[in-house]
Amino acid sequence: MLRRAAVTAVLVSAAVGCGDTRDTDMSSDVAVVDVRATGCGPRARLGVGTAIDDGLIVTAAHVVAGADSIAVTSLDGSPGDATVVFIDDDLDVAALRTDLDVGAPLELRLEPVVADTPASLTLPARGDRDAHTFDVEIVRPVNIRTTDIYLDDDVDRHGVEVAATVEPGDSGAMVVVDGRGAGIIWARSTIDGDRAWTVDIPEILRDPVSRAALVDEIDPGACP
């Protein structure tokens, strides 16, 4: 387990950009979107989302909490709007609904992930960056004692430590193992430039029946 002081220091919006890049010309059927949330300051907060059901996108909660409006853009550049239908301040996980066709939903991994497992991340185009997929590696499963997104309460987050360089801007990117989603990036290390952490997808989003019922817009809460 990591020291709480170290983990608190990495609670920042994250953009991943390390490993061997491949598939630079991403197909539009890859279910990854650029997320931009406005309403908590003069600039939009940026994140990455992944479709896990028809019209249902999972991302990091701190990207969309308190947002007045949320815009999503598919890998082929098509724009759309989204609303928050689920948010967990403790786990830093949110789900969005959109009418935008973002491609076939990604299946979620149900089995535990073990250490030294190869994985991948897909990021959307942003600025002068093309959409791309690159290889990362699962270092080990972890249970991190940290705080909720408002820094109010102590919480536990189960997930994995990932060998990946993380920078501000792409929180919510899905780590994929054997073609299935294994968790989303929520934090980076400010000590080791080649470390990031994911949180497991909560049960309500892993269960097909429960997540299909998430259709109504909810209050996204306060700005973190």
The domains spanning 4-23+106-201 and 32-105+205-212 adopt the same CATH topology: yes
Distance between CA atoms of residues 159 and 162, nearest Å: 10
Q: Average the pLDDT over 177-181 and give the result.
A: 96
Domains of the chain, by residue range, sit at 4-23+106-201, 32-105+205-212
H/E stretch holding 204: helix 203-206
| Backbone conformation region of residue 9, classed left if phi is above 0, alpha if psi is from -120 to 50, else beta | alpha
Q: Average the pLDDT over 55-79 and give the result.
A: 96
pLDDT in tens, 76-130: 899 999 999 999 999 999 999 999 999 999 999 999 999 999 999 998 888 888 8
Q: What is the pLDDT of residue 29?
A: 62
Q: Which CATH number fits domain 32-105+205-212: 1.10.10.10, 2.60.120.10, 2.40.10.10, 3.40.50.720?
A: 2.40.10.10
pLDDT over threshold 60, residue 219:
yes
Confidence class for position 165, pLDDT limits 50, 70, 90: confident
Q: Average the pLDDT over 119-148 and give the result.
A: 91
DSSP for residue 36: E
213: tokens are: 């019922």
Which of 12-16, 88-92, 192-196 shows the lowest mean pLDDT across its residues? 12-16
- % of residues, the chain, pLDDT over 70: 86
pLDDT over threshold 90, residue 7:
no
Residues with Cβ within 8 Å of residue 213, at least 6 apart in sequence: none
Q: Please, are residues 100 and 74 in contact by the beta-carbon 8 Å criterion?
A: yes
Please provide the CATH number assigned to the domain covering 4-23+106-201: 2.40.10.10
The label of the residue with tokens 């991943």 reads 16
Count of other CB atoms within 10 angstroms of residue 42? 5
Q: What is the pLDDT of residue 68?
A: 97
Q: What is the pLDDT of residue 191?
A: 86
Count of other CB atoms within 10 angstroms of residue 194? 16
Mean pLDDT across the chain, nearest whole number?
88
Confidence class for position 26, pLDDT limits 50, 70, 90: low
